Structure 1
Amino acid sequence: MSLVSESRVSAAEPAERWSSIAVLALSTFLVVTAEMLPVGILTPMSEGLGISAGTAGFSLAVTGVVAALVAPLVPRVIGVLDRRRVLVGAAVLLAAGNLITAVAQGFVVLALGRAVVGMAMATVWALAVALVTRLVSARRAGFAVSAVVSGVAVASVLGVPLGTVLGDIAGWRSAFGAVALAALVLAAGMAVLLPALPAHTEVGATASFGSLLAIPAVRRGLVAVTLVVTAHFAAYTYVRPALEALSGVHGLGISLLLLLYGFCGIVANFAAGAAATRWVRSTLLVLATGIAAALIVMPLLGTTVLGAAGVLVLWGLSYGGVSVCSQLWAVQAAPERREAVSGLYVGAFTGSIALGSFLGGVILDGAGLSVLLWGSAGVAAVAALATRISPPARYIPSPSA
């Protein structure tokens, strides 16, 4: 048996399956780039729209709230529709949301565009990881999950920094326009590279979400993931103004620091994916502890460029593995209900992004940067404690075990 239940498109050739994995990884890369792009261009966005940095940061909260509400419903709403067609439609929706954002003249239209992005993101995340085990052999499922989830870290390395550079050179609207164009290219790629993916009947597919929450590993994993993601995004949403205020870095320097952070995130994604396949609880514990440490020392060491770089290395190595740990915890806890449990975890994950972004904006505007960073560190420490006292998710050994 596999890490997750064995279900795949056996007729496809390995090259075809891995090209499908690649396009799914591109989809997660693009939705995360679209979601997180305001982080890198928050200052010019707020200035262009005539709103505060905290208010501009609330646009991430809008995306997260919508994704949190939509993701758990995706498997039920799409029913028996072919998953390839659903994903192509989600890519087109992503293009529309970024185009609306690019032409926004005020917060209301900005929020509308970000809400559309949230719907697209929820659909991609609710399906992408759940479909992985239908595209590769069971023994490679763990690596395939890491590859698809790597889109999160690669978005930090390439998507957000490149969007930041483009925004600084050509204006923040051009960055969202570029993502809209890329989403249309993604839709075409999905139509060509993904095989037909008819709906599979899952055990308990018609049951309520309450039946999933009745599983202790599912419930306790949700608590740990919610806390650590909330802590991270309360601070990371405002990393640009934090770096500007603490270290005096601006413009291209911000892009380079975010690039360093994202590179560390890629390394952490694959390292944590390999570790979490067998020790998901311990891996998440280490990551939450690292995030807490980075946030504690940022006001102390981030006052110089080298100090800020060191903090971002620790932060990137810590947060980079959280997404893959979350997904692996979900499928290990309820392998017979992959789409349903993935949707539930995506809802919690994106809801935590919204909560963190919102609370971070309130604290930043009301109490200041130091309170924001140290308060977030405290929540990350509680997340580590919650992970420590949680029982491990159910593990299904691989053939090589």
Structure 2
Amino acid sequence: MDFYAYFWNNEVYIQEKYRFSSNEILTKYLNTNYLKKIEELDLLYQLCSLQEKIKLKEDMSYDNIEKYDKYVQDAQYYFDMINKCLHRLPPYNKILKFPIITLSDLLNGFCIFFEDGLDDDYDNIDWSTVNKYGSGEIDESGHSHFHLHYFQPKIESDWNNYDLDLLEELNQLNKIIEIIFSRYISFIKSYISIQKVFRPFVENYLHMKGTFPNEHEVAEYFSGFNKNNSKNFEKINCQMKSFGYKVLIDENKKPILCEQILFSDLQSFLFYDFFNGIRNNYIPNKCKHCGKFFLIRGGKYFSYCDNPLKDEPDKTCRDVGSRRHYDDKCKNDPIWQTYNRAYKAHYARYMKKKMTISEFEKWSRFASSLRDKAIAREVEFEQYYADIRK
């Protein structure tokens, strides 16, 4: 499922017109939970296996021919399941036309290779023509045809009985089958990579210091992750079919010069977009309150998202989480506990007019600086405790 992506500053345009922030698409995938189902079904193996079983071959076994329709139905079941995901997730929910053509419809385009039970009598097909293999249909132009619902290959034991045109058509069918399956297989591989490579890197490495990582820290995290994890970025093959530049028009009707890249799979796009976003502090993070991933769009670093709370819609995770985080630090960290008590004491002085507003603000700046030095162990705790209480 090839698609063009156009990169400019902190934005990416899919197929020229669908605008996203860097790492916005990855963040949406991180908030999905299809991996368990994929692993329970062993979906990657099933698709690869079905791809070979559905191709028409000279040496197809009797068992394969007898079970061929079941294989087609199984494949379409998996396709439908994946299509539901594609319908919800970018960029495919923007660029694919739904409903997507079914495997049954595609095979009907090559019905000459399948049993139909009609004994070559196609002259009297109408709505009443029904048998084990399919039923008669009439298209919008009034032409009648027989549509297969049950697929049983009729493969010649000797391919020399096929003329060149039929052999070419058979090769074309197998090529189409391979293309269709490869698209779904590619998506599943990409999704597994998102959950087993991108996700643990974001959760366990990218936010190690609780702030935006600088370029040296990103390099350190990248190296450490690849060294300590068998599934890592070194095993991602970023496939670009073409690279160039193109002028697009932004939302302000201004021309912008974008990198134009044709990607052949989702994983390659995310790989490029991910590190491009990190350079500009557009990074996904996992909310420490609700556990959902959210995108930090440069500027200030956040550990909590701004999604409204279910039980208090007028408040967000950021409202509640920051306060709880501060309270936890004041309960468990002597440095923060001392700071909090000193702040309350000085604020009480200000409220009783024993300190002016300027004196209180001056002390507040001094106390914050002293607290940070104590955290960094630039000041001994005893000295910190004595100085902040003055």
Q: Same-fold call, TM > 0.5?
A: no
| Higher relative strand content | 2
| Higher relative helix content | 1
TM bucket normalised to smaller: under 0.3
Task: Give the structure, 1 or 2, with the largest relative contact order (CA under 8 Å, sep 6 or more).
Answer: 1
